[in-house]
Structures are given as structure tokens and as C-alpha cells.
Amino acid sequence: MSLDATYTREIPLVEGRTSFKEIDDVIAKPTETKPSIKWFIAIGISSTALLIGAVCLGLTFWYGVGLWGNNQPVGWAFDIINFVFWIGIGHAGTLISAILFLFRQKWRTGIARFAEGMTIFAVMTAGIFPAIHTGRPWLDGYLVPYPNQHGLWVNFTSPLLWDVFAVSTYFTVSFVFWYIGLIPDFATLRDRTTSGIKKAIYTALSLGWRGSNRHWQHYERVYLILAGLSTPLVLSVHTIVSFDFAVSVIPGWHTTIFPPYFVAGAIFSGFGMVSTVLIIVRKVFDMEHIITINTLDKMNKILLATGTMVGYAYAMEFFIAWYSGNPIEQFTFINRAFGPYSWAYWIMFSCNVFFPQLFWFKKIRRNIPITFVLVLLVNVGMWFERYVIIVTSLTRDYLPSSWGMYFPTMYDFGILLGSFGLFFTLVLLFAKTMPVVAMSEVKAVTEGAQPKHKHE
């Protein structure tokens, strides 16, 4: 056995022999110091985008959804595209925090907290879209089954109602999972801070956590069970989102491949967004040795795997369309690739399938600028995937007499911009006020953190 030692040795998760104190110092720094000018520029840009979105939304409330490009035959457009896009972004956070936790992938510790936060913000952003899609969002209370004076109940056989339950459960459980993870770190911040108001806030949030092993014992068990619950939950959420399409009879939507295809796409797009944000954050907050290049390397491998899965789904859709012998289905897919929206299709295909294949090369996986460009392309590609699925199927369905093109308006773009503004504003506020890396988890995986005489 003459294996090269570098293949068998575990790469340290935290670079260098960092002491616990140094970990705390680095991670708590943004919460303890005045933000840099870079941070103010960033939040200025993101809140401007948010404001533009809010104005477009206000105008939409005033004049009605007629301001949008949605019209027969395309009743679902930017609103639903953005909803599916943002929900998908959220999935990576749960994958990193729950599924990789169950698989004992310790490299997740550096990015888990951030990814969980992004999940929550992405689901919040996503939740806006179905609400405004109803046209009169102040009547959305009707989506919930509650005893009312009309004597009505909601339609439990509709995938749109399943969505209501899935998304709200997903948000609640992600939030609980996130908060449970934050308690020990809030306690650390509570015991570090010297400012009275911060002390009060962290005292309230940390609930008097002491790091007692009698607590850790139950805490770890609950964390494990919550990870176990979140794993099927995250798979169910995008499955149910895909049911919104698959349960209908529109050509190109009514297929059984949709649930796995959507879940793979969601994780793919989510990792794209997590990488995008992390590359910036580790630079801005000097966390290069906690969010290491090895972590980014591993994330790029997941991007490669999920991107290839998505590519397989694209190919399989074409194969099944041909194999089914259904001429309408066949037309739909030829129309997607070569019809009036072929530009969108090829943007999607190249960004999601061709470019991520570059991650086969180790040099590219470990090259930050190239990775950054590629993950941005993934974000673009996954947005266009939803555009292609929704718009091409709706513009040309069974009856050629009812075909029509879809043209978004400036309000559609404004609200899309606003959704990015909301997401990044929340991310920036989070990075400023809370520990963006799970201190207690990172400490537990540094070298020498666990007793030597006990084997793992």
C-alpha cells in the first residue's frame, strides 16, 4: 500500500492552529465594530433596489396587476418565476445545514449558519410573490383554513394549497432550526460585549444559555432530530412547488420527472447563490481561514453534480417527449429549443449545463474569480430555467388560436430588482448583527478540540 499521504489525510477544516479566542474575535468582529464604508455602500445599493421594488409594488396595488405583463395566455409569469427561483435558493441552506449534518460532512460548519440565514431570507422573499400574485394580497387570509362566516373551507385537493402549508412550514422549521443553532453563539456574544443595549439584546436572545453539558446533551439530540425532520421537509417543499405545474395538464408541465428535477435544480441554484454571497462575505469580513478554499472547492463539486443532474433532466424531458409519441408534447420541447423563446432556452442550457462542467478541473474549482463568474452564471441560468418552463409552455399550448407572446413590463423588472434588494438587505443586516459563522460548531471541529483518548 503506497498511497500518497495527501489522499488519505483529512484536510483541516479550519486553517492554521486557530485558538478558540481568535475564532470568537474574527466571527464577532462585525457585530462589535462600526461597519466599514464598503458595508454602507453595499447596503445603500441593496436598499435602493428594495425601494424601487417597493414603489413598483405600491403602484401595482394602486392600479392592479394589469401593470404587469401577465395576460392571456400567460397568466403566470415573473411573479411565479421569482417565487420558484427564490424558494429554490432557500433549499441550499437546508441542504448544507441539515443533510450535510446527517452525512457528517464537517466542512459544512463554516458555511452552515450563513446558508441557513439565506434560507430564511430567500423564503421570506419568495413568500411575497404568491401573495402579490393573488392581486389583492390583503385578502390572502382566505388561503388559511379558518372557521369563517361564509361556512367555506379551502380546497385541500389543490397543489396551490399544499404550497401554502409547505412554504409556511418550511419557513417556520428553518427559523426554529436557525434559532436553536444561534443560542450558544448569542451566549458567547452576551459574555463578550461591553455595550449595555447589546448585552440586553443578547441576554434576551440567549435565554441564559450557559453551555452546560446537561443542556448540550438534549440540545445535540434535538439538533439531530431537527436535521432529520428538515431533510424530508426540504425535499417535500420543492416537490410540492413542482406539483403546482405537474398536477396541471399544460404540455411540458404534466410530467412525472418534475419533483426530482425541481429539487436538483433548487439545490443547484441555492449553492450558486450561497457561493456568490460567501465569496464576497469571506473577503469583506476577513474570514478566509474559516470559510476556506477547501470548502469552496467542495461546494463547487456539489454544483458540478447537481448541474449535471439538471442537464440530465433537460435531456430526459426531450427523450420522454419523443418516446411518449405525444405530438403536442414533442412540439412543446422543439418549440422550447427552437421557437421564439429559444434565446432563453440556450441561456439556461449553457449557464446550467455547459459552464459548470468547467468544475471538473481542480484549478478552476480553486480559482476564486472564475468560480465567482461561474456561480453568477448559475444564478442567471436557474432564473431562466423557470422562465423557460413557465413562459414557453403557456404561450403555446394545445390551441394555436390562443397562442400569444409574453412581454414583461418595467414593473415586472422593478419587482424582480426589489426582491434582490430585499434579500441582500436582509443578508447585510444579518452579517452585521449576528454571528455569521456558527462559533460553537467551528470550535468543535478545530484541531485538538475533542479529547484524544476518546476515539470518534
Partner 1 sequence: MIGKILKKFDDRFLKSEPRTGDLYAVAALFDTPDEIIHAAEKVSGSGYKRFDVLTPYPVHGMDGAMNLKPSNIGWVGLIAGMSGTSLAFLMIWWMVGVNYPNIFGGKPFFNLPASIPIMFELTVLLSALTLAGSLIAIYMKLPSNANPLMDTEFIKRVTSDKFGIYIEAKDPKFNKDEVEAMFKQLGSSSVSFIHEAVYEVGDTKNPLLNTKFLGALIGSSVITVVITYLVLNVLLFLPPFNWMHYQAKVLPQSESKFFKDGWSMRRPVEGTVARGFIPYEFAGMPDSMVVPTPNPLPVNQKVLDLGKKRYDTYCSPCHGFYGKGDSRLRGQFPVPPTLHSEKVMNWKDANIYHVITNGQNTMPSYASSISRDDRWAIIHYLRVLQRSQNAPDSDLEIK
Give, as ranges, the residues between 186 and 245 that touch partner 1 (CB under 8 A). 187-188, 190-192, 196-197, 199-201, 203-204, 207-222, 225-226, 229-230, 232-233, 236, 240, 243
Region 3-42 residues binding partner 1, contact defined as CB under 8 A: 19-21, 24
Please identify, using beta-carbon distances, which residue of 37 and 207 lies nearer to partner 1.
Answer: 207
Number of residues that bind partner 1 (CB under 8 A): 81
Contact between residue 421 and residue 51 where contact means Cβ atoms under 8 Å apart: yes
Residue recorded with cell 414533442: 330
Shortest Cβ 277–partner 1 spacing (Å): 25
Shortest Cβ 77–partner 1 spacing (Å): 22
Q: Kindly write out the interface string for residues 61-90 of this chain, putting x where it contacts partner 1 by CB under 8 A and - elsewhere.
A: xxxx--------------------------
Shortest Cβ 362–partner 1 spacing (Å): 32
Region 111-150 residues binding partner 1, contact defined as CB under 8 A: 138, 145
Name the CA radius of gyration of the chain, rounded: 23
Shortest Cβ 239–partner 1 spacing (Å): 8
Please identify, using beta-carbon distances, which residue of 230 and 332 lies nearer to partner 1.
Answer: 230
Please identify, using beta-carbon distances, which residue of 226 and 416 lies nearer to partner 1.
Answer: 226
Q: Identify the CA nearest to 261 among candidates 301, 315, 303.
A: 315
- Reduce the DSSP state of residue 239 to 3 states and report it: helix
Answer for which of 180, 315, 405, 410 binds partner 1 (CB under 8 A) is 180
Is the peptide bond between 356 and the residue preceding it cis, with omega within 30 degrees of 0?
no
Cell of 72: 392571456
Beta bridge partners of 419: none
Helices (H), 285-367: 293-324, 327-338, 342-349, 362-365
Answer for which of 144, 373, 410, 449 binds partner 1 (CB under 8 A) is 449
Please identify, using beta-carbon distances, which residue of 191 and 297 lies nearer to partner 1.
Answer: 191
Query: How far from 359 is each of 76, 106, 354, 363, 453, CA to CA, in Å?
Result: 34, 22, 10, 8, 40
Shortest Cβ 2–partner 1 spacing (Å): 33
Please identify, using beta-carbon distances, which residue of 9 and 214 lies nearer to partner 1.
Answer: 214
Please identify, using beta-carbon distances, which residue of 260 and 340 lies nearer to partner 1.
Answer: 260
Region 239-278 residues binding partner 1, contact defined as CB under 8 A: 240, 243
What are the backbone angles phi and psi of residue 250, rounded to the nearest 5°?
-75, 135
Q: Identify the CA nearest to 231 among candidates 258, 268, 277, 263.
A: 263
- Reduce the DSSP state of residue 435 to 3 states and report it: coil
Question: Looking at this protein, which amino acid is placed at residue 111?
Answer: I
- Neighbouring residues of 12: CB distance < 8 A, sequence distance ≥ 6: 446, 447
If one asks whether residue 165 binds partner 1 (CB under 8 A), the answer comes out as yes
> What is d(CA 28, CA 192) in angstroms, rounded to the nearest whole number?
9
Please identify, using beta-carbon distances, which residue of 215 and 362 lies nearer to partner 1.
Answer: 215
Please identify, using beta-carbon distances, which residue of 96 and 302 lies nearer to partner 1.
Answer: 96
Shortest Cβ 448–partner 1 spacing (Å): 8
> What is d(CA 367, CA 47) in angstroms, rounded to the nearest whole number?
31
